[in-house]
């Protein structure tokens, strides 16, 4: 074989290995596609971070500098504000090669996360550990497949160490709810993040929640204090409030288990301070039983009779609440 056909062969082998080791998305039965975004295309031209990925970047208030390539290193998450958290476990900062990526790469050093992942800050440690076991044994499916894949490669002691760490971080409110009937058109990028399309065009919001970064480039730098806007349908916050506080004959008031201000109790975790699209995925997960691990059975009677619109309304309301 000539060198060039050898090269072609190696390329083909490399590509097929990449495809076979890539993890398929998990279907979350009943969840609308906008809440479980598949990997899309890379940033459109206007919003592209630095064309030169080696250029050192900074963010306001931090003395650190990282290139976009360093920022996106899944085995060494950027730590913009080392003084704003305690000693980070190695797995949170650097993962556990080869299978486990740095938790802080997706959930950030603040634990606040992004709409396409989850906020972990301040959640009960035992609850977080139970979720890791549920991901590992498949009784809870993560739509992206990453949590199911990575949780299997961690020991009990490692799961406890990282859960304790995220549990000790203060929960924070990172998204602002805006009710609207129309919203700018968006697309999903190659990190599953939703961004505005260029050129800007409006479309009806319908029964959807559209969560986008306030400042794209800031969030792309994995700023642990990055903020978001949650566009939700007109009237959804008030409708969601009724369901959450009174049940309206369709569900059980949430405070009975999640605590009077919904920030958690000994029975159930906090349901404030997370992203609305995350909450939509979870309520569908319970309803379609792709999330049945841990104490999920307690959520069954809550979600059985909820429609897609009820789930959007409840998620919009919960995201609008203050975080204590």
Least separation in angstroms between CB 8 and ligand HEC: 32
CA distance 179 to 237: 8
In the list 68, 109, 110, 144, the residue contacting ligand HEC (rule: CB under 6 A) is 144
Report how far residue 152's alpha carbon sits from residue 49's, in angstroms, rounded to the nearest whole number: 34
**Segment contacting ligand HEC by CB under 6 A, of 60-68, 78-86, 137-145, 214-222:** 137-145
- Contact between 110 and ligand HEC by CB under 6 A: the answer reads no
Cβ atoms of 323 and 273 within 8 Å: the answer is: yes
- Token code pair at residue 118: 């989850």
Cα–Cα distance measured from residue 29 to residue 275, given in angstroms and rounded to the nearest whole number: 20
Q: Closer to ligand HEC at the Cβ: 314 or 316?
A: 314
198 closest CA partner among 45, 34, 38: 45
Shortest separation between residue 136's beta carbon and ligand HEC, angstroms: 11
Please state, in angstroms and rounded to a whole number, the distance separating the CA atoms of residues 92 and 40.
26
- Minimum distance, C-beta of residue 289 to ligand HEC, in the bound complex (Å): 12
Q: Which stretch binds ligand HEC (CB under 6 A): 48-56, 138-146, 173-181, 211-219?
A: 138-146
The stretch among 59-67, 105-113, 200-208, 225-233 that binds ligand HEC (CB under 6 A) is 105-113
- Please give the structure tokens belonging to residue 270: 């906090």
Contact in structure between 314 and 243 (CB atoms under 8 Å)? yes
Instruction: Tell whether residue 314 is a contact of ligand HEC (CB under 6 A).
Output: yes
End-to-end Cα distance, the chain: 67
220 binds ligand HEC (CB under 6 A): no
Longest distance between any two alpha carbons in the chain, whole Å? 74
Residues at the interface with ligand HEC (CB under 6 A): 91, 100-101, 103, 105-107, 116-118, 120, 123, 128, 130-132, 142-144, 146-147, 150, 162, 243-244, 251-252, 254, 256-258, 267-269, 271, 274, 278-279, 281-283, 294-296, 298-299, 302, 314
């Amino acid at each position: 074989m000539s060198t060039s056909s050898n090269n072609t062969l190696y390329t083909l082998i490399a590509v097929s290995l990449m495809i076979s080791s890539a993890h398929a998305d998990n279907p979350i039965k009943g969840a609308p596609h906008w809440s479980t975004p598949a990997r899309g295309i890379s940033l459109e031209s206007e919003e592209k971070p630095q064309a030169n990925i080696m250029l050192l970047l900074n963010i306001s208030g931090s003395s650190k500098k990282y290139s976009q390539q360093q920022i996106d290193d899944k085995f060494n998450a950027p730590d913009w504000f080392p003084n704003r958290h305690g000693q980070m476990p190695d797995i949170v900062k650097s993962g556990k090669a080869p299978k486990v990526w740095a938790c802080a790469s997706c959930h950030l050093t603040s634990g606040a996360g992004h709409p396409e992942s989850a906020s972990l800050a301040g959640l009960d440690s035992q609850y977080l550990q139970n979720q890791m076991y549920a991901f590992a044994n498949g009784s809870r499916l993560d739509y992206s497949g990453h949590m199911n894949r990575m949780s299997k490669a961690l020991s009990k002691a490692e799961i406890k160490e990282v859960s304790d760490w995220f549990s000790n971080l203060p929960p924070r409110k990172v998204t602002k709810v805006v009710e609207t009937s129309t919203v700018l058109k968006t697309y999903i990028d190659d990190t599953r993040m939703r961004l505005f399309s260029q050129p800007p065009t409006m479309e009806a919001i319908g029964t959807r929640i559209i969560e986008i970064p306030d400042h794209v480039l800031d969030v792309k730098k994995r700023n642990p204090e990055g903020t978001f806007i949650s566009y939700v349908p007109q009237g959804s916050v008030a409708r969601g409030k009724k369901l959450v506080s009174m049940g309206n004959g369709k569900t059980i008031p949430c405070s009975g288990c999640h605590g009077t201000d919904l920030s958690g109790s000994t029975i159930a975790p906090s349901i404030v301070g997370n992203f609305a699209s995350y909450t939509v995925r979870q309520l569908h997960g319970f309803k379609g039983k792709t999330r049945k691990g841990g104490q999920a059975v307690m959520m069954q009677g809550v979600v059985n009779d909820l429609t897609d619109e009820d789930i959007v309304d409840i998620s919009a309301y919960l995201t609008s609440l203050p975080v204590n």
